[in-house]
Amino acid sequence: MNTEEQIKVSVIMPVYNRAGVLQKAVRSVMDQTLREIELVCINDGSTDNTVMVLKKLARKDPRIRVLSQRNAGAGPARNYGLKRAKGEFVAFLDSDDWYASEDVLEKLYQKAIANQVKICLGGSRRAKLGKLQPLEFPGKVYFTKEALIEYRDYQFTHGYCRGIYDRKMLIENWVCFPAYQRYQDPPFFVRAMISAKCFYAVTDIVLIYDESCNYQKINWNERKTTDLLKGIRDILSLAEEHSYIRLQRDFVQRIRYGDWSEIFSKNLRGDWTEAKGIMQEANTYFMPEAIRQSGLPEGEKPFDKLLHDAFGRGRHIPKIRATFTDKIIRMTRLPY
């Protein structure tokens, strides 16, 4: 493979201190029936022997490329891999997850080409202590029938590793990962979907997600909690811009009653002024119809209770409206 046109899929894998576990992920890529692929491994400043393991694997298969950067996090590592990738499509795989079968990339690629789409998604399944867990969230995390789906009808934020993405589409639309320590994946996924407008769904389970990397094992601190809030804010802004009421409605429930309650209750503090400002700004992006459908009391915004509990009710919420999306895109642009 001497020209980038010959590479159909570039798999981008950030790696940080994963020497003992990454071989399973690498093998699941290199054993794919689609041979016109490359695996772009980005060593994100590892302090163990990760680089030695990667270089040893690369000597056995020239389709493996090893890049290195100073430790900057998974998002910047993926951006670096995207900048250096050569494939027609790109896929993203974490170093402790793996593809469910050897024909995953071939199926995704063939379906994307046959249906002339920029994104093709399959399903994912969790693994815990080496055992596969039951399938969850039909129509969202996995699909029960093949179909061309408009993102306006999907409005989901998770599972970006389940698919392949047209590389030029990402580059031309400045779709990349924000440099957040947490929650950088959903903003990328939503921006990619907005750029593509639709995707093709296949019923195959394509990704096995290792549950050892769940929220409960993250050492949450001010930076990570603030970055989580930034990622939520980004999506709320995009949802408002494109009138995704269902997406915002889901976030109302998740903020008030769901996914992050324990994180917020343990980590938000009165002296975290940046976190306070982000929540105040995020409140301004909620559409009235999304709030109404969520059943919140009239005049209440989703972050109000958190603001009250962590900081006391502020008298003034600044009107930080117009150009937030443009600013965040400028801040996270790749240097092409």
**Averaged pLDDT of the chain:** 90
- 319 has pLDDT over 50: no
- The predicted pLDDT at position 218 comes to 80
Residue listed under structure tokens 């992920």: 25
- 317 has pLDDT over 60: no
Read off the pLDDT of residues 217-237 as tens digits, 9 standing for 90 and up.
Answer: 688 999 999 999 999 999 999
Helix (H) / strand (E) containing 108 = helix 104-114
Which of 134, 276, 152 has its CA nearest to residue 211? 134
C-beta separation of 307 from 314 below 8 A:
yes
Query: What pLDDT band is residue 332 in, cutting at 50, 70 and 90?
Result: very low
The structure tokens listed for 39 are 């695996």
CB count within 10 Å of CB 54 equals 28
Which of 171, 175, 121 has its CA nearest to residue 146? 121
The structure tokens listed for 120 are 């093709």
Query: Rg of the chain's alpha carbons, rounded to an integer?
Result: 20
Centroid of chain to Cα 195: 15
Helix (H) / strand (E) containing 32 = none
C-beta separation of 164 from 109 below 8 A:
yes
The structure tokens listed for 219 are 């050492």
Which of 232, 111, 114 has its CA nearest to residue 162? 111
- The predicted pLDDT at position 331 comes to 35
Read off the pLDDT of residues 193-203 as tens digits, 9 standing for 90 and up.
Answer: 999 999 999 99
Sign (positive or negative) of CA dihedral 64, 70, 73, 76:
negative
Query: What pLDDT band is residue 118 in, cutting at 50, 70 and 90?
Result: very high
SS3 (DSSP) at 258: coil
Strand partners, 199: 149
Query: What pLDDT band is residue 313 in, cutting at 50, 70 and 90?
Result: low
SS3 (DSSP) at 199: strand
C-beta separation of 279 from 230 below 8 A:
no
What is the rounded distance in angstroms from the CA atom of residue 121 to the CA atom of residue 114?
A: 14
Read off the pLDDT of residues 150-182 as tens digits, 9 standing for 90 and up.
Answer: 999 999 999 999 999 999 999 999 999 999 999
Share of the chain above pLDDT 90, in %: 80
Query: What pLDDT band is residue 322 in, cutting at 50, 70 and 90?
Result: very low
The structure tokens listed for 248 are 């915002």
SS3 (DSSP) at 290: helix
- 137 has pLDDT over 80: yes
Region 243-255: what's the mean pLDDT?
96
The structure tokens listed for 172 are 């031309």
Phi/psi for 114 (5° steps) reads -65, -35
Lowest mean pLDDT among 40-44, 61-65, 316-320: 316-320
- 59 has pLDDT over 60: yes
Read off the pLDDT of residues 3-25 as tens digits, 9 standing for 90 and up.
Answer: 445 999 999 999 999 998 899 99
